[in-house]
Amino acid sequence: MAHKKSAGTTKNGRDSNPKYLGIKITHGQKTKEGSIIVRQRGTRFMAGENVAMGKDHTLYAVKEGTVVMANKRKKHFDDTTVTRKLVTVTE
């Protein structure tokens, strides 16, 4: 006969790996060509001048320069306006 109670199962013993999303280079910082500026899911930040978007919505610099972030009002088809952040690289 056992003198210790056996360990039961747990329902919360799992977790997903971190995805490391967010802004990597902020407003006013220098960037090189090909540097990742923002990692994101969806288009929270829009690509502006000298910035391109990868297939997973990652924004990266096309030219060397300084990162500038600004707000842009975008109009949807149902006449609702949404404010998005615009990321550009100036020389």
Per-residue pLDDT tens listing for the chain (91 residues):
667 777 777 788 888 999 999 999 999 999 999 999 999 999 999 999 999 999 999 999 999 999 999 999 989 899 999 899 999 999 8
CATH of the domain at 55: 2.40.50.100
Residue 28 domain-assigned (yes or no): yes
Contact 27, 54 (CB under 8 A): no
In whole angstroms, give the CA distance from residue 2 to residue 50: 70
Residue 16 domain-assigned (yes or no): no
Give the CA distances from residue 65 to residues 10, 41, 44, 61, 70, in Å, rounded to whole numbers and listed in that order.
52, 25, 22, 8, 16
Residue 49 domain-assigned (yes or no): yes
pLDDT at position 36 is 97
pLDDT at position 2 is 66
Residue 48 domain-assigned (yes or no): yes
Residue 69 domain-assigned (yes or no): yes
Q: What is the pTM of this model?
A: 0.79
Neighbours of 25 (CB within 10 A): 21
Range of the domain at 42: 22-90
